[in-house]
């Protein structure tokens, strides 16, 4: 069974994204310049991407991560905090350590693609 199914499928990811966004709005690291960006964050695209990452969909048709996040001006520290909130929510604040560990591993594997230089992405 995939992590996607164990978490509860798309409804669980929709709830998780909503909860993570609510946490980020209250997080001092995100309150300054990115607060407006969080409000306009394409939630459906994020849910689709999380669906793909957790094994719910065989393909992801979105743009490459480096291009999508190029205009968000997210720092590595902010990504780390976002990942921390997401792992906490999907791991049900410690109640599901297996899901938390699996998702932390997935997000760590995605990290280099978010901060790669555009030239490396085009190569």
Full set of structural domains in the chain with CATH? 3-122 (1.10.490.10)
Distance CA 86, CA 84 (A): 6
Instruction: Please give the Cα distance from 123 to 81 (Å, whole number).
Output: 29
pLDDT attached to residue 73: 58
Q: Is the pTM of this model over 0.75?
A: no
Taking only the tens place, the pLDDT of each residue in 50-96 is 999 999 976 666 666 666 655 555 778 888 998 999 999 998 888 99
**What gap in Å lies between CA 82 and CA 106, rounded to an integer?**
13
Rg (CA), the chain: 14
Read off the pLDDT of residues 25-57 as tens digits, 9 standing for 90 and up: 888 887 766 555 555 567 888 898 899 999 997
Task: Give counts: helices (H), strands (E), the chain.
Answer: 9, 0
pLDDT at 88: 94
Mean pLDDT in the chain?
A: 80
User: Rounded to 5, what percent of the chain is helix, strand, coil?
Assistant: 75, 0, 25
């Amino acid at each position: 069974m995939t992590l996607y199914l164990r978490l509860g499928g798309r409804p669980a990811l929709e709830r998780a994204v909503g909860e993570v966004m609510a946490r980020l709005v209250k997080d001092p690291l995100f309150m300054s310049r990115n607060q407006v960006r969080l409000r306009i964050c394409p939630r459906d695209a994020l849910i689709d991407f999380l669906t793909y990452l957790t094994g719910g969909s065989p393909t992801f048709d979105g743009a490459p991560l480096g291009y999508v996040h190029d205009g968000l001006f997210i720092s590595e520290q902010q990504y780390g905090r976002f990942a921390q909130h997401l792992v906490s929510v999907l791991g049900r604040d410690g109640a599901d350590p297996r899901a938390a560990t699996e998702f932390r591993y997935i997000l760590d594997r995605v990290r280099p693609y978010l901060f790669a230089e555009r030239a490396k992405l085009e190569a």
